[in-house]
Chain A
Amino acid sequence: MCRLFAMTSDEPFSPLVAAKALDVMREGHDGSGVGLFLSDLSGPFEDLKDAPVLSGIFTSKGLKKLDVHMMELGFTTKYKVTIKAPKPSPPGVPQRDVYLIRAYEYPDEWHAYSAERRAFELMKVRLDLRRMGEADGDMIVFSFWPDAIMIKEIGDPLTVVQHLGLDRKELMARVIMAQGRQNTNYAINLYACHPFFIQGICTMTNGENTAFVPIKEYLSSRGFPGYMGYNSDSEVFAHILHYSTYQLGLPLEAYKHVITPLSDDEMGDHPNKAFLKQLRQTCRRLIIDGPNCVIGCLPNKSLFMVQDRKKLRPGIVGGRPGCYAFSSEECGLDAVIPDRDKSLDFQPMHLDTAIVSSDRQEVHICRQTQSLPQALCA
């Protein structure tokens, strides 16, 4: 079972902090991979908040291909961090040419695009690059979005972070999500590594998604080009969140009602019963069956954690105003925020969504039995 750690802090922090938290939870993962998502960036990227940042792994040939392609599209580089891993790699970590994090200036004509169109086009560029890379095996692209960096690699999380020298000023961020991978498949495809990203929405999960195939079929048939990939059964959690947020316009509080709707008994005299019943029916194919703990981040930098109905996976949230973390295990929290009031730690159960918004002042617990925002059900 994988281990998850995510933190949101007023003070920018290094990916090494997250890697250390994963390291104390190493009994729960086998060091077969690490995935990092960085947002609310500090350092040089802080001044480039609107510039889309491309994150990926490239061979030298792939890098040239990328440059040609991006220039053809009219993108110009504003800033970049190129990580060339020292040789030799530690055991279990593959040797790559370049880990690239590059912020671009939009092509001129994109400035006239609406936010929606721009989001769509950015996703299309990422998908095109992914396809080009898959064809020749020379590019792996994780994200292309403003104020978002992703790094994924095979190997032990702490080893990889140290080996790649990710503890650097340019990669300090206020929101970091990290997953330590437990390999349940033999060949590791980096596209199967968490976190998963789509248009500013990012999630990571532990556990297996037993309802994967019907959900994948449903999402794939929505006619939205971003709903693809599915190298991992957990990718659907990011896409369901994207679908409920972007396509349906639902708030985060409703996400849990989509993936694990209340039963008739639980609904009882819920103030939004009629709405929830309709939502349960119309989104039936997006119901997950777990066992999964999902940690995610929204474009507004809110972090959240939800569990499936069975609540078989561990998950805890805690911290203090200005700094909160979500972790698979309490020891992960202890390693990073030892000076918190532990009595306020919270382990979300099967009806809860634990949310820490970008002001980082409190953990907001939303139970499914509570009423939803009024505007939603009007």
Chain B
Amino acid sequence: MQADTIITPSTLCVKDLPWQIAWDKDKCTLCGRCAAACPMLALELAVYRKRVIQPPMGLEKAPENNFESFYGVRQKTNPDNACVGCGMCNLVCPNDAIIPMHSDEADKLRFHNNKGGIPRRRGGRRNDPEGVLDRIKFTRISMLTDPALDAGRHDFQLSTLLGRVLPPEENLKLQREQGWIPPVREIYPLIIGGMSFGALSPTMWEGLQMGVTYLNEEVGMPVVISTGEGGCPPRLLRSRFLKYVILQIASGYFGWDEIIHALPEMKVDPCAVEIKYGQGAKPGDGGLLMWHKVNKLIAAIRGVPQGVSLPSPPTHQTKYSIEEAVAKMIQSMSMAWGFRVPVYPKISATSTSGAVLNNLARNSIAAGLAIDGEDGGTGAAYNVSMDHMGHPIASNIRDCYLNLVKIGKQNELPLFAGGGVGKRGNLAANAAALIMLGASGVQTGKYVMQAAAGCLGSETDRCNICNIGRCPKGITSQDPRLYRRLDPEQVAQRLVDMYLAFDTELKKIVAPLGRSTSLPIGMSDALGINDYNIAQRLSIDYVV
């Protein structure tokens, strides 16, 4: 039979898509909100024709065909409008008449979303919900020989250090001689990882900054936030709140003209400077802000023209070796603030992390090393980078820590782990596991977006359209119509909720281990896993 439409190699049916929209005619009020809210414009008004057979009573008349029409929505099948499963249609539907359903098999869209020879790009994270962090258990439970503590009422000291900590002999000597001691910040061990002004909407950024300030000034938790590569709003640079901010400098240097010019007017020093050399979600790739999101405000802060894509180079172009890239840059950035601000690099987890670490260990002012694992998130990247490039964080952080132990510098160069922390919702458990594997603290971005702003993304490829600025929740959009959906005050409140809950959970983990006086960094004897090979690899207990 002849098809009623032209069939091309890329002609897809609804079944071929990753998400199918289930729509209930009987419940639908035809209000149109679903189509209006859909970020992908995946729904169109449809007129359906329906044949109704009306058999008359008796035998005199033959049955009749009646043709009726009715209205509804139809799911578009072209790749550009394929449903991403965000569920906004369901969210806005007054009658629960519509919902996206995940396909029961691998979609065919993946073979066709490379129109014009451009591979798929998206935001989000690696599409793999599994991870080793959730499998790690805390097995050293204090019972009678060393009583467990009361997580609710005991006094806990859970801060960590960000900065180069000198060995005690050297520190005491320099104190006696009144010499220069590298700056060290005592911070909360859960850092909000770099999400740039540009990748995030203004309302999201404002909400996070307000939340961080509240946590510091009202709750007494020294929480800090990294700017990501996109500069920092001028008023924040000149405010006393800058001390809660880690300024990130990356290979595109976006926003740094503004920062440098603000230096003489800064009231306080920033918490730290993070030099981004890599990102776990897309290792070996630079930052990317697609043109959709480069509006007037973003262009002004970043010092670029409007409406152009901003791909940062994969590495800092002015540098040609690890000594250049690390040592000189750390020195330059330290010098800019009179050696009062810790400066540390952030790299993507890689089998060569050890080389970077060793180099940093020999550098006397490197303030730490942040390592971002393959499960980290991004505002925009090629799908292949996200799904297939990178190194898991657990073994990478463990190797680096044990390497520091070997050379006796485990207290000198703090390691910060990121990438997939809390990806299945277990933020505190994942963070505690990484800390006990050797991290001084963890960085998280996606969890913050999910908990504080209701990000819809998932590891099963839901939504993940942060790159094109159509975030249905207004978190990663620069379109006022979208980002006005997000109330900064509520983001701040959710962030505070998230941190308080995390803090309680972290105490619920460390208290039964009998730890309260200091963060249990490297307390690997508390960890166990029911996989022998993983246990061997991480040098922790194998438990079954």
Q: Which of B126-134, B139-147, B275-283 contacts A (4 or more CB under 8 A)?
A: B139-147
Name the contact of B516 in the complex, choosing from A223, A247, A249, A309 (C-beta under 8 A).
A309
Chain A residues within 8 Å of B149, by CB: 310
**A282:B168 contact, CB within 8 angstroms:** yes
Name the contact of B410 in the complex, choosing from A184, A285, A312, A378 (C-beta under 8 A).
A285
A307 to B167, CA, bound (A): 25
Q: Is A135 an interface residue (CB 8 A)?
A: no
**B175:A1 contact, CB within 8 angstroms:** no
A285 to B184, CA, bound (A): 15
506-527 of chain B: CB within 8 A of chain A: 513-518, 520-525
**B517:A287 contact, CB within 8 angstroms:** yes
Chain B residues within 8 Å of A308, by CB: 517
**A290:B517 contact, CB within 8 angstroms:** yes
**A213:B517 contact, CB within 8 angstroms:** no
Q: Is B355 an interface residue (CB 8 A)?
A: no
Total number of A-B contacts with CB less than 8 angstroms?
109
Chain A residues within 8 Å of B524, by CB: 213
A291 to B172, CA, bound (A): 28
Q: Is B411 an interface residue (CB 8 A)?
A: yes
Q: Of all chain A residues, which has the CB nearest B142?
A: A210
**B166:A282 contact, CB within 8 angstroms:** yes
**A217:B405 contact, CB within 8 angstroms:** yes
Q: Is A167 an interface residue (CB 8 A)?
A: no
Q: How far is the CB of A179 from chain B (nearest CB, A)?
A: 16
Q: How far is the CB of B435 from chain A (nearest CB, A)?
A: 11
Q: Is A113 an interface residue (CB 8 A)?
A: no
**A248:B410 contact, CB within 8 angstroms:** no
* A213-B524, A221-B406, A312-B147 known; A249+B172 contact, CB < 8 A: yes
A310 to B155, CA, bound (A): 9
- The proximity string for B residues 468-484 relative to A, scoring 1 for CB distances below 8 Å and 0 otherwise, is 00000000000000000
A318 to B146, CA, bound (A): 26
Name the contact of A289 in the complex, choosing from B140, B172, B515 (C-beta under 8 A).
B515
What is the interface of chain B mostly: helix, strand, loop, or mixed? Answer: loop
Q: Is A114 an interface residue (CB 8 A)?
A: no
Q: Is A120 an interface residue (CB 8 A)?
A: no
48-66 of chain A: CB within 8 A of chain B: none
Name the contact of B514 in the complex, choosing from A1, A210, A287 (C-beta under 8 A).
A210
Q: Is B181 an interface residue (CB 8 A)?
A: yes
Q: Of all chain B residues, which has the CB nearest A223?
A: B408
Q: Is A105 an interface residue (CB 8 A)?
A: no
**B520:A1 contact, CB within 8 angstroms:** no
Q: Is B51 an interface residue (CB 8 A)?
A: no
Q: How far is the CB of B333 from chain A (nearest CB, A)?
A: 21
A263 to B524, CA, bound (A): 25
Q: Is B176 an interface residue (CB 8 A)?
A: yes
Chain B residues within 8 Å of A221, by CB: 405-408, 410
Q: How far is the CB of A174 from chain B (nearest CB, A)?
A: 33
**B514:A291 contact, CB within 8 angstroms:** yes
Chain A residues within 8 Å of B161, by CB: 281, 284
Chain B residues within 8 Å of A282, by CB: 165-168, 171-172, 411
Chain B residues within 8 Å of A213, by CB: 522-525
* A218-B410, A221-B410, A282-B166 known; A260+B517 contact, CB < 8 A: yes
Q: Of all chain A residues, which has the CB nearest B524?
A: A213
A312 to B518, CA, bound (A): 17
Which residue of B149, B161, B517 has the most chain A CB atoms within 10 A of its CB atom? B517
A1 to B521, CA, bound (A): 26
A117 to B352, CA, bound (A): 42
Q: Is A222 an interface residue (CB 8 A)?
A: yes
Chain A residues within 8 Å of B516, by CB: 289, 309-310
* A214-B522, A378-B176 known; A247+B169 contact, CB < 8 A: yes
Q: How far is the CB of B512 from chain A (nearest CB, A)?
A: 10
A263 to B171, CA, bound (A): 20
296-310 of chain A: CB within 8 A of chain B: 308-310
Q: Is A283 an interface residue (CB 8 A)?
A: yes
Q: Is B157 an interface residue (CB 8 A)?
A: yes
A217 to B167, CA, bound (A): 15
Q: How far is the CB of B152 from chain A (nearest CB, A)?
A: 15
Chain A residues within 8 Å of B146, by CB: 207-208, 210, 290-291
**B517:A291 contact, CB within 8 angstroms:** no
Q: How far is the CB of A269 from chain B (nearest CB, A)?
A: 18
A283 to B171, CA, bound (A): 10
- The proximity string for A residues 6-18 relative to B, scoring 1 for CB distances below 8 Å and 0 otherwise, is 0000000000000
Q: Is A374 an interface residue (CB 8 A)?
A: no
Chain A residues within 8 Å of B166, by CB: 282
* A278-B171, A281-B165, A291-B146 known; A214+B523 contact, CB < 8 A: yes
Chain A residues within 8 Å of B172, by CB: 248-250, 279, 282
Q: How far is the CB of B412 from chain A (nearest CB, A)?
A: 9
**A247:B517 contact, CB within 8 angstroms:** no
A221 to B406, CA, bound (A): 6
**A284:B515 contact, CB within 8 angstroms:** no
* A221-B410, A248-B168, A282-B165 known; A275+B514 contact, CB < 8 A: no
- The proximity string for A residues 193-218 relative to B, scoring 1 for CB distances below 8 Å and 0 otherwise, is 00000000000000110111110011
Which residue of A223, A260, A310 has the most chain B CB atoms within 10 A of its CB atom? A310
Q: How far is the CB of B99 from chain A (nearest CB, A)?
A: 49
Chain A residues within 8 Å of B517, by CB: 211, 260, 287-290, 308-310
A73 to B142, CA, bound (A): 47
Q: Of all chain A residues, which has the CB nearest B140?
A: A210
A378 to B178, CA, bound (A): 9
Q: Of all chain B residues, which has the CB nearest A208?
A: B146
A223 to B408, CA, bound (A): 8
Q: Of all chain B residues, which has the CB nearest A284?
A: B411
**A278:B175 contact, CB within 8 angstroms:** yes
Chain B residues within 8 Å of A250, by CB: 172
**B145:A1 contact, CB within 8 angstroms:** yes
163-208 of chain A: CB within 8 A of chain B: 184, 207-208
Q: Of all chain B residues, which has the CB nearest A377?
A: B175
Name the contact of B168 in the complex, choosing from A214, A247, A377 (C-beta under 8 A).
A247
A287 to B519, CA, bound (A): 10
26 contacts between A and B (CB under 8 A): A208-B145, A210-B140, A210-B142, A210-B514, A210-B515, A211-B518, A213-B522, A217-B410, A218-B405, A218-B410, A221-B406, A221-B407, A221-B410, A263-B155, A264-B186, A281-B165, A282-B411, A283-B168, A284-B161, A289-B520, A290-B514, A291-B514, A309-B155, A310-B516, A377-B175, A378-B176
Not counting A211-B520, A213-B522, A218-B411, a sample of 7 additional A-B residue pairs whose C-beta atoms are within 8 angstroms of each other reads: A210-B140, A214-B410, A263-B157, A281-B184, A282-B171, A288-B517, A290-B514
Which 7 A-B residue pairs are closest in the complex by CB-CB distance?
A221-B408, A208-B146, A210-B514, A282-B171, A287-B518, A214-B522, A285-B411
